[in-house]
Chain A
Amino acid sequence: MSRAGAAWGATVIAIAAYTAAVLLPLPPLQYLPHTSVWRYGIDHPGEVVVRWFGFVAYAFAGGVAGALLGGALVRRPPWALVAPAALLAWLALAAHELKWFR
């Protein structure tokens, strides 16, 4: 298993998983702060819930899967791809929040 490949895969897949969790209608992992309850797969619009912890959990799961996949690669993809991937994800996520500035 290649450590560099595992690191590459962990980062890129974690970025993709986090971005997908925010932008796509994946089943949400939510924390309800008023009742201190965690729940999965239910989304009631308008309810006060903390979704960010769930997004980070998706990223963490993606990172673990990416480490396993990346570690199995025969040849690690270039490091130069990592920063553009992260920058693109950041721009897409920032654009998703433009609704707050209108």
Chain B
Amino acid sequence: MSYVATVVVLVLHGVSAMLLIGAVTHQALAVWAPVHGVHEGWWSALRGVHAQRYATAVVVLFLATMALGAIDYVPFRIGAREQYLDVHVHWATGLFEIKEHTAALVLALLPAYWAVWRNVEAVRGRRSITTLLAFGAWWNFVVGHIVNNVRGL
């Protein structure tokens, strides 16, 4: 894969992750602090979304983000990680390893996430699983930025 293609994929990976962060954050806030009735203001608008409608978007955006990240994973391993991070910045490698595990665990959570959002009675399941998804999305977003700032593609 050419360098330009690698960078384009990296940018798309970041954009997809940003959209995922927005969707899952709205949804997590809506399940923990739902808005009943008509309210004005930024905080109410943030929580006052139809959370169930975000479920498909969250699944699609997560899969897209992970697939784009997986495409750039090999160039990252050969370039940034093998030649620099593993040698000079061990903690960045450690953070990235945890990012990989987080992505895999969120992928594993998707069937349960999809099921609880199709079941109106699974309120506690929605809260806990959506919260974990939001945590995973934020963790990977922040760690991705940190590691890319230390040594990117």
Name the B residues within 8 Å of A50 (CB-CB).
Answer: 73-74, 77
Proximity bits, A1-41, B CB within 8 Å = 1, else 0: 00110111011101100100010000000010110000000
Closest B residue by C-beta to A2? B115
Across the interface, do B108 and A94 meet the contact criterion of CB distance under 8 Å? no
Across the interface, do B111 and A83 meet the contact criterion of CB distance under 8 Å? no
CB distance from B113 to the nearest CB of A (A): 8
Name the A residues within 8 Å of B105 (CB-CB).
Answer: 15, 18, 86, 89-90, 93
Across the interface, do A67 and B101 meet the contact criterion of CB distance under 8 Å? no
Across the interface, do A82 and B109 meet the contact criterion of CB distance under 8 Å? yes
Name the B residues within 8 Å of A8 (CB-CB).
Answer: 111-112, 115
Identify which of A12, A56, A97 gathers the most chain B CB atoms within 10 Å of its CB. A97
Across the interface, do B97 and A82 meet the contact criterion of CB distance under 8 Å? no
Identify which of B70, B78, B82, B94 gathers the most chain A CB atoms within 10 Å of its CB. B94
Proximity bits, B100-137, A CB within 8 Å = 1, else 0: 11101101111110111001001011001101100000
Main SS at interface, chain A = helix
Question: Which residue from A3, A89, A90, A97 sits with its C-beta under 8 Å from B97?
Answer: A97
Name the B residues within 8 Å of A86 (CB-CB).
Answer: 105, 108-109, 132
Across the interface, do B111 and A90 meet the contact criterion of CB distance under 8 Å? no
Across the interface, do A33 and B74 meet the contact criterion of CB distance under 8 Å? yes
Query: How many residues on the A side are at the interface (Cβ–Cβ under 8 A)?
Result: 40
Cα separation A101 to B73 with both chains bound (whole Å): 22
Decide yes or no whether A48 CB sits under 8 A from chain B: yes
Across the interface, do B108 and A11 meet the contact criterion of CB distance under 8 Å? yes
Q: Name A residues whose Cβ lies closer than 8 Å to a Cβ of B.
A: 3-4, 6-8, 10-12, 14-15, 18, 22, 31, 33-34, 48, 50, 52-53, 55-56, 59, 63, 67, 78-80, 82-83, 86-87, 89-90, 93-94, 97-101
Q: Name B residues whose Cβ lies closer than 8 Å to a Cβ of A.
A: 70, 73-74, 77-78, 82, 90-91, 93-95, 97-98, 100-102, 104-105, 107-112, 114-116, 119, 122, 124-125, 128-129, 131-132
| 21 pairs from A and B in contact (CB 8 Å cutoff) | A3-B115, A7-B115, A8-B115, A12-B112, A18-B104, A31-B74, A50-B73, A53-B70, A59-B104, A59-B107, A63-B108, A79-B122, A79-B125, A83-B125, A86-B105, A86-B108, A90-B105, A97-B94, A97-B97, A100-B94, A101-B91
